[in-house]
Amino acid sequence: MNIIILDLGLPNIPGLDVLKSIRRANIHTPIMVLTARDTKDDCVEALNNGADDYMTKPFDLNELIARIRALSRRSAGRAEASISYKNIVLNPLSHTVTVDEQQVYLPRREFNLLQKFLENIGRVLTRDQLTTSIYNWDDEVDSNALEVHIHNLRKKISNFSLRTIRGIGYILEKEIK
């Protein structure tokens, strides 16, 4: 899930104008305003013009991360932190995964990959999207690393309806009710 973090004190254009133009363009990406402007009027104006949340500097990094997670959940239509799919429950806060109520250990990259799929059920995710969600810019990535992680996920998690779309990427199939 994408989130825009916007500072109102931009050097060449007012941040509020950027916010307004994003919303006028009908872009629905959640926007977190992070600014030194600490008056209630500034906060109210930003929220009334389409900001989804507002924090003033200096800020606590843990609070910023928690608010970003909350924005991400809300924009995905979820209120709770846990993500459920069929017999799988992933909790990003405790970094746990259960399958049929049995805990499954996943290394960090497999966990992040599973979370990316669960947050995008029914959407095709490209190799590039998946790779950037599990690796840092400075990491060296083997050409088949993503496939290895996906193979491991399929092996560890039963009933994982992940379909390969040749030449494009992968899609976690929606549940049929």
pLDDT at 153: 92
Query: To 10 degrees, what angle do helices 108-118 and 127-134 make?
Result: 130
Q: Which CATH class is domain 4-75?
A: alpha beta
- CA-closest candidate to residue 9, choices 42, 41, 40: 42
Note if the pTM is more than 0.85. Answer: no
Percentage helix, strand, coil for the chain under 3-state DSSP, each rounded to 5: 35, 20, 40
CATH 3.40.50.2300 boundaries in the chain: 4-75
Q: Rounded mean pLDDT of 72-89?
A: 76
Tell me which CATH code domain 83-172 carries. Answer: 1.10.10.10
CATH 1.10.10.10 boundaries in the chain: 83-172
Rounded Cα distance, 151 and 137, in Å:
23
Rounded Cα distance, 116 and 138, in Å:
20
Q: How confident is the model at residue 41 (pLDDT cuts 50, 70, 90)?
A: very high
- Does the structure show a pLDDT above 90 at 1? no
pLDDT at 119: 84
Instruction: Read off the pLDDT of residues 55-79 as tens digits, 9 standing for 90 and up.
Output: 999 988 888 888 888 888 777 666 5
Q: How confident is the model at residue 151 (pLDDT cuts 50, 70, 90)?
A: very high
